[in-house]
Structure 1
Amino acid sequence: MVSTRGIGSTRRTFLTVTGAAAALALAGNLPEIEPARAAAPSSGRPRDPFTLGVASGDPLPDAVVIWTRLAPRPLERFGGMDYRPVPVQWQVAEDERFSRIVKEGVAEARPEASHAVHVDVRGLRPWREYWYRFRAHGQLSPVGRTKTAPAPDAAIPELSLAFASCQAWWEGWYTAHADLAARQHDLVVFLGDYIYEFGIDRGVRPHSGEDYVTRETVTLDEYRNRYASYRMDPDLQAAHASAPWVVTMDDHEVINNWADEAHPSAPPAQFLVRRANAFRAYWEHMPLRAAQQPQGPDLQLYRRFRYGKLAEFSVLDTRQYRSDQAYGDGSKPPGPETKDPARTLTGDAQEKWLLDGWAASRSRWNVLAQQNALARLDVQDGAGVVVPMDTWDGYEASRSRVLGGARDRNVRNLVSIGGDLHRSVASDLRLDFDDPDSPAVGTEFVGTSISSGLDGMDLDPGGATLLKENPHIKYCNFQRGYVSCSVTPERWISDFRVVDKVTVPNGTVSTRAKLLVEDGRPEIQTL
């Protein structure tokens, strides 16, 4: 097992074992497949440099990050750009026609960041819609819509929120993203598995047998190409352009089921180089602040956002600090290892940050935005209990400290939102999942995947088992989609939007269920 309490020694080993290349990674100048050199100059009419669209994220009452990446040939090395800095003009306006520009400037798209641009636009007004765009090489980008957070003491009447996860490009079309974009939420939260690192044979989409999709991602160039292949999708671009996003990663942004410095694919020192490559490409393609820029294999991803008096979002990182999975991973009966208080899903520092934040919160709704299911998932039909070791079930003491900490701090209206399962699961969060009469301290909505898992069905055998064996689970569905939420001081409504088919374009999106949580009443009701 890998301890999360002595990571400094492993970092030193990482430097010692991997030498100069690792030192570059730790400094943020990551090793490439080959020495960097200028791309061949283009000829003829200039190509569109904004093939990957625009995005915004991490909204504050007076600020938001706006993002783009210059990539006229997105699947070529450095996106087809020359290896030199490029000035990029940016504008933020109060109207879509840009007749009322409130902020503008010039950013530098640098080759070592693959010509990505992150502008932390400050001096904006709270709880306002804005539009933004970029100009480079004489061409304008698409226009994006964003919205700042409310002032900390504002009493806003409603928050429109969407959350999503798990979008394996080769397994389906992004019809759910098109629907999400059309709704123009105040905020979108993406809970991990933005890309998949797998090497595959081919998928359901045209061109899904190409090398940039089928090759497993290990190097920085390969991770960059994987993000570019996803970012080229027009529905994903529309979803990014429709609202500010708050993002966190799960496992597939690096490799399946990684845990801190441990993965069976490589020794820790070698794995950390891969992790540094993955983190760098992730930051380059997400609307994140400079504070989230990785330092080699380290990325400060957990953070908090407040939406006036209405809601506070605690965004977790449940990969970077966790103990290795118990009993060799997979689904197993719980035992002494899953109950070991020395094992953690969040690491000590993040757990303390979470509980201290809850103790200070005065928000009506306290949202835990994290990667998978906090509720217990007994997946065995009949006698006995079998649970997945990669979720909170494999870290029972960690879960007990979080749920018990919420109770002890009188956290108001705890709502966990999660992903990872490729199915929708809605649960009451109880202090003791073995006792149906145990007090509920919150509720949880786990959203299904955008496309991972192909079309699915309304209720598969796995979902039927979950409903039968887990009385705290109130709803299951195994189709693709996302969750659109309306949050007011009196109630939280989760609208589970599902797609009939993702294996063909232009599927039909509909509401499968509307689930309600009332203020001060931690139990899920069906509307």
Structure 2
Amino acid sequence: MSSGHPIPAPGRRSVLRGSLAASAAALGLPALGSAAPAFARSGRPRADWGVQTGDVSAHSGLVWVRSDRMARMVVETSATESFKRTTRWRGPLLGPGTDFTGTTRLRGLPPGQQIHYRVLLADPDDPRRTGEPVPGTFRTAPVRRGDGVRFVWSGDIAGQGWGINPDLGGYRVFDEMRRLDPDFFLCSGDTVYADGPIPSSVRLPDGRVWRNITTEEKSKVAETLAEFRGNFRYNLLDTNLREFNAQVPSIVQWDDHEVVNNWYPGEVLDDARYTERRVDVLAARARRAFGEYFPISTLGSGSGSGSGHGRGRDGRVYRVLRQGPLLDVFVLDMRTYRNANSPGLGTDDPTGVLGEEQAAWLKRELSRSRAVWKVIASDMPIGLVVADGPENIEAVAQGDPGRPLGRELQIADVLRHIKHRRITGTVWLTADVHHTSAQHYDPSRAAFGDFAPFWEFVTGPLAAGGFPAVRLDGTFGPERPFLKAPTRANVSPAEAPQLFGEVEICGGSGELTVRLREEGDAVLFTKVLQPGRVGQ
């Protein structure tokens, strides 16, 4: 429907930058350590934490907001930035049950179009009394083969004690990604470091002092629901990230640091920092906060309901996002259903890193996909040896270059399925290891040969420490034509540019181009892949 009183708006970029450019203090955000807004406040509801969109398709998308008090969420959309004609969407009532966050699902949107929206927060007792509208924009996915797709991906935010540094301008890499104006952002996990406290300052090897914005919830490891919520809220103190969220929709997955380093179901921690050591309890709280602070379709997001509690349609993080005839994105969850970390040398391992149900889902959905390219968003790499202590394996590869063992058996089954079903256009994207590289997997080099050649690209971190390269496992025949990594552990963002990747699919030729980039507008490596071609 049309709104009776459209709100004039300047240009799109000036709206986004002007509304979000102030510092946290100038915006009057809640006290940095506060767990939730107070119930009794004067004035109108405020949305100082910005807006986000997520899981956008050709005809729908999710819009997120957080209020500073009880409020009704209302979203208005328009085809133009003037908002002369709008459609209004009545969203959920935001309250303490979701930490005053909520999402609204927009349906029936036109495909391949720029959608302008603004979020209003209404007083529940007087719906005419609303706060200042918070604007945003996003593009819906195309439905025509000739329309290209371009997105960025990375992960690992505020890790190893490196948080929002006001001296460096905060998370500047998000501003650089925003200026590329991608169709969406694929966040490959470690969206927060709930197990990583952020100190007020850190002395760097060259004598400089790194300063962090700090909060009460980031002063210790997260154990309570309030502390997990505070971890997700921390990153939203950064102006660059809020501006990015208002312009670029996200597809988000999680990994280990949303809970605790290298966790697996059923684990009991041996860590003196924790009073609650049952990982299943911590993971349930983390999943609830994760669903509250990101608009994710499978975690209960939708018009008329608050952000997810991990009790949405099915509570899953794994899902497939259709981005038009050129691209499907398969989002994996290599954390929730895995077996215990071990040396990874077993000869029978049906659970693996995905769990049996998710592995079956992945094979089924890959078979159903008619997209030219199938991006498999993996929160951990396949052929890189990621250890958990001196003996156990955290990811898939365990360092034995022979036949598949342990979790490799499940990945081998997926790769075999892709080959035998003649599924073309699979590309694996990941983060996790805090350096960037490109791996080509080929059966002619592999101990296991029943698969078709494919590429895996690694990037990150976005705002965390850099780490040296890890070695390759020869089981699937990887070759690494490009690698950039520090030579020592935990190199700060002040010492090394942060890293992300860009993927561009040409609407005319269908070519997929991967660019591994670093902060400072530098392209480190480029690979062009041809549609339908095997062994490239």
TM-score of Structure 1 vs Structure 2, range by shorter chain: 0.7 to 0.9
1:336 aligns with 2:352: no
Deviations 1:262-285 (A, max 9, x none): 243489994322222111111111
Deviation at 1:440, TM superposition (A): 4.2
SS state at 1:232 partner:
coil
Structure 2 CA distance for partners of 1:66 and 1:370, relative to 1, 3 Å: same
1:390 aligns with 2:394: yes
2:483 partner letter: C
Of the three residues 504, 514, 521, the one matched with 2:526 is: 514
Structure 2 CA distance for partners of 1:168 and 1:268, relative to 1, 3 Å: closer
What is the aligned partner in structure 1 of residue 279 from structure 2? 271
Structure 2 CA distance for partners of 1:365 and 1:252, relative to 1, 3 Å: same
1:406 partner letter: I
What is the aligned partner in structure 2 of residue 363 from structure 1? 371
Of the three residues 89, 94, 100, the one matched with 2:74 is: 89
The whole-number CA distance in structure 2 between the counterparts of 1:133 and 1:442 is: 42
1:477 aligns with 2:474: no
Deviations 1:43-102 (A, max 9, x none): 5xx48722211000111222110011113xxxxxxxxx3xxx422222111122322323
Structure 2 CA distance for partners of 1:403 and 1:438, relative to 1, 3 Å: closer
1:217 aligns with 2:225: no
SS state at 2:335 partner:
coil
**Counterparts of 1:69-108 in structure 2 under 5 Å?**
69-71=66-68, 81=69, 85-108=70-93
What is the aligned partner in structure 1 of residue 148 from structure 2? 158
SS state at 2:417 partner:
helix
The whole-number CA distance in structure 1 between the counterparts of 2:501 and 2:391 is: 25
Deviations 1:399-445 (A, max 9, x none): 11111111111111110111111111211133476459986432111
1:136 aligns with 2:148: no
Q: Which has the higher helix share?
A: 1
What is the aligned partner in structure 1 of residue 188 from structure 2? 191
The whole-number CA distance in structure 2 between the counterparts of 1:436 and 1:404 is: 10
Q: Which runs of 5+ in 2 are unaligned?
A: 1-34, 123-129, 164-169, 203-209, 301-307, 399-406, 486-496
1:285 aligns with 2:293: yes
What is the aligned partner in structure 2 of residue 168 from structure 1? 158
Deviation at 1:349, TM superposition (A): 0.8
The answer to which of 422-431 and 280-289 deviates more is 422-431
CA contact (8 A) 2:416 2:450 kept: no
Matched length: 445
What is the aligned partner in structure 1 of residue 335 from structure 2? 319
Structure 2 CA distance for partners of 1:244 and 1:156, relative to 1, 3 Å: farther
1:54 aligns with 2:54: no
Structure 2 CA distance for partners of 1:324 and 1:41, relative to 1, 3 Å: same
The percentage of aligned residue pairs carrying the same residue is 22
The whole-number CA distance in structure 2 between the counterparts of 1:392 and 1:466 is: 11
CA contact (8 A) 2:383 2:474 kept: no
Structure 2 CA distance for partners of 1:343 and 1:117, relative to 1, 3 Å: closer
The whole-number CA distance in structure 2 between the counterparts of 1:38 and 1:55 is: 20
Deviation at 1:122, TM superposition (A): 0.9
1:419 partner letter: A
**Counterparts of 1:409-488 in structure 2 under 5 Å?**
409-431=421-443, 434=446, 440-453=452-465, 462=469, 472-478=479-485, 479-488=497-506
The whole-number CA distance in structure 2 between the counterparts of 1:358 and 1:207 is: 43
The whole-number CA distance in structure 2 between the counterparts of 1:311 and 1:447 is: 20
Structure 2 CA distance for partners of 1:145 and 1:263, relative to 1, 3 Å: farther
1:402 aligns with 2:414: yes
1:195 partner letter: V
Task: Normalising by structure 1, report the TM-score.
Answer: 0.77
Structure 2 CA distance for partners of 1:209 and 1:314, relative to 1, 3 Å: closer
CA contact (8 A) 1:171 1:452 kept: yes
SS state at 2:528 partner:
strand
1:372 partner letter: M
The whole-number CA distance in structure 2 between the counterparts of 1:171 and 1:37 is: 24
Structure 2 CA distance for partners of 1:388 and 1:181, relative to 1, 3 Å: farther
Structure 2 CA distance for partners of 1:142 and 1:477, relative to 1, 3 Å: farther
SS state at 2:349 partner:
coil
The whole-number CA distance in structure 2 between the counterparts of 1:492 and 1:323 is: 34
CA contact (8 A) 1:191 1:371 kept: yes
Task: Normalising by structure 2, report the TM-score.
Answer: 0.75
Deviations 1:146-182 (A, max 9, x none): 122233xx31331011111001164254222111111
Q: RMSD value over aligned CA atoms?
A: 3.2
Structure 2 CA distance for partners of 1:467 and 1:95, relative to 1, 3 Å: farther
The whole-number CA distance in structure 2 between the counterparts of 1:279 and 1:123 is: 29
1:140 partner letter: E
2:292 partner letter: E
Deviation at 1:208, TM superposition (A): 4.0
Structure 2 CA distance for partners of 1:94 and 1:509, relative to 1, 3 Å: same
What is the aligned partner in structure 2 of residue 18 from structure 1? none
Deviations 1:1-45 (A, max 9, x none): xxxxxxxxxxxxxxxxxxxxxxxxxxxxxxxxxxx99836345xx
